[in-house]
Amino acid sequence: MIRNLEPQTPSVVLPKIAPSSYSKTEDLWNVLSHGLGLICAVVFLILMILQTKHAQNGIKLYSALIYGSSLVLLFLTSTVYHSLKSPTQRALWKTLDHCAIYLLIAGTYTPYLLVSFDGNWRTILMLIIWTVAIFGIFFKVYFGHQYPKVSLFTYLLMGWFMVIASKELMAKVPSEGLYLLIYGGLAYSFGAIFYAIKKIPFNHAIWHLFVLAGATFHFLSIYRFVL
């Protein structure tokens, strides 16, 4: 018997999915909504770099780069995923898209922690949020999309993680910045409802719009009141 010697791609990286669970019109709106988000993310990143490149504290620039890069990566992977037709390519980019969510959540909190916090509290919170993000990425890569509710719960748990440091946030960040942070969290959370209810027409595009709104609120909070 002649064995097939061609290398096989591990299923944990490329889980089998249908060519598309969305109609052509739905995927078009999915691409347009996060394509717009990608443009905004690039603009946001440039604005943050310009604002922090001459800052005496290099932590602000590093924080801006981490947060801005995670934002660009999220919208990029999502846009590419929804624009593809090949089941194999969609599987890969869907996994990357979901992994990017973990990076964005941790990346969003990074400026608050590095710039506004100090001492052991900053170190501990940074270790927790990035450890959970890395764990979530490994979970997603290994199990693929077998447990979507677990992933959604983890996203929301990470998203509201900073509630445990609310007193420190209120002492370090102006109230306007905190309101924007909360508005962003609410936008993501309400959007998750549409993400979870598949029967709603264009539910994923609606989710995308909530993501764009949440990302914008958080950018304004970080850009105006943290960096």
Tokens of 120: 């052991």
Q: Does residue 43 sit within a domain?
A: yes
User: Does residue 45 form part of some domain?
Assistant: yes
The mean per-residue pLDDT over the stretch 162-184 comes to 91
Instruction: Please tell me the predicted confidence (pLDDT) of residue 18.
Output: 47
| pLDDT for res 167 | 86
Q: Does 206 map to a domain? A: yes
Task: Specify if 15 maps to a domain.
Answer: no
* Beta-carbon contacts of residue 197 (< 8 Å; ≥ 6 apart): 203
Q: What is the mean pLDDT of residues 34-48?
A: 98
Asked, for residue 136, whether it belongs to a domain, the answer is yes
Amino acid present at 147 = Y
3-class DSSP string for 44-90: HHHHHHHHHCCCCCHHHHHHHHHHHHHHHHHHHHHHHHHHCCCHHHH
For residues 106-143, one letter each, b for 16 or more C-beta atoms within 10 angstroms of the residue's C-beta and e for the rest, the string is: bbbbbbbbbbbbeeeebeebbebbbebbeebbebbbee
CATH of the domain at 149: 1.20.1070
Q: Is 2 part of any domain?
A: no
The domain tally of the chain equals 1
13 in any annotated domain: no
pLDDT of residue 129: 93
pLDDT over threshold 60, residue 40: yes
Residue range 67-114, pLDDT digits in tens: 999 999 999 999 999 999 899 999 999 999 999 999 999 999 999 999
On whether residue 168 sits in a domain, the answer given is yes
Query: Which tokens belong to 68?
Result: 């801005």
Smallest Cα–Cα separation from 122: which of 136, 108, 109? 109
Averaged over 132-157, what is the pLDDT? Answer: 86
Highest averaged pLDDT of the listed ranges 87-91, 163-167, 197-201, 220-224 = 220-224
Most confident of 13-22, 132-141, 218-227: 218-227
Q: Which domain holds residue 158?
A: 24-225
pLDDT band, very low/low/confident/very high, at 20 (cuts 50, 70, 90): low
